[in-house]
Amino acid sequence: MIKESMVAADHKTAGCDDKTQQMLQQIKTVTIIGSGTMGNGICHVFAQHGFQVHLMDIKQEALDKALKTIGKNMDRQISKNALSEAEKADSLARIKTYTDMAEAVHDVDLVVEAATENIDLKVKIFQELDKLAPAKCILASNTSSISLTRIASHTSRPTQVIGMHFMNPVPVMKLVEIINGYATDDKVTEVIVNLSKFLGKVPCVVQDYPGFISNRILLPMINEAILALQEGVAGVEEIDTIMRLGMAHPMGPLQLADFIGLDTCYSIMNVLHMGFGNQKYAPATLLANMVQAGYLGVKSGEGFYKYTPGSKDMEVSKRFKR
């Protein structure tokens, strides 16, 4: 466990406007719930920008792994002259790990939940947070599709519940999709917008509809690519190449699905399908079958492509080779 720094948060406040200064008075200590890919990335960014960060997970092994990942990612920044060794050391010193939620959220100003994209799990977490976190604390979720209004309805502070959807990899990607629940207070939104800007991100505020904007547009495109593959219109490489070279996408939709996780894609499509009640959002049968069979993409080692540990090379899964 890394000890919390004995000094106050070291924010670089020169040139900050009044609203940002006010935000920094309100948000000093942040708890991140979940230390996976998104959680450790969010923790990394907050710590690097001078906040005291409590990283919470149910297993210490997961926390230890997250700290190693954060250290490695900071080393990449150092190699690109985006961070110094001293800044890395200071950032890591601001992170404290917890396996007990009550301790993790004691006297904090903001909680960002970054657990698995599962409505029942998120509701349970927010019910606990509502009981354990200080009354002043803002409760944010990194959810990519689940209704913030629904989550907030299970708390006694719906005005203080908001979505803060970071993109992966968090230290690199600039966007933060900020989602207002039906009852979210405008002042809370303003704080989170200014916070996102201070973190070097570009905030975009959207309203609480299934999939918000990012996944309402992205996931149906991915699902359509899977349907085209399912129907034999084209192969994996052809679909991805057409979208990369023809539409200037940095990554083809099937490769992107592998990186997101096919289980996550399937979950989000189900949220869209149920939320809108429209058959056009029904997940492809091929997607459902791959998830049921455990072919989840990068996380399982195989999806539309085959991934070899320790190698950046990938090849189309033999199931889709012609």
Q: Which residues are catalytic?
A: 144, 165, 177, 215
DSSP-assigned beta bridge partners for residue 180? 162, 207
Specify whether the CB–CB gap between 113 and 129 falls below 8 A: yes
Collect all residues with Cβ–Cβ distance below 8 Å to 304 and sequence separation of at least 6: 229, 236, 254, 255, 257, 258, 297, 316, 317, 320
- H or E, element range at 30: strand 29-33
* Count of other CB atoms within 10 angstroms of residue 117: 20
DSSP-assigned beta bridge partners for residue 232? none
Specify whether the CB–CB gap between 166 and 113 falls below 8 A: no
Rounded Cα distance between 192 and 204, Å, is 11
* Count of other CB atoms within 10 angstroms of residue 150: 15
| Among 108, 114, 112, CA closest to 136 | 108
Rounded Cα distance between 173 and 189, Å, is 21
Q: Is the peptide bond before 253 cis (omega within 30 degrees of 0)?
A: no
Edge to edge, the sheet with strand 175-180 lists 95-98, 52-56, 29-33, 110-113, 138-141, 161-166, 175-180, 202-207
Q: Tell how strand 52-56 and strand 95-98 pair up.
A: parallel
Specify whether the CB–CB gap between 216 and 272 falls below 8 A: yes
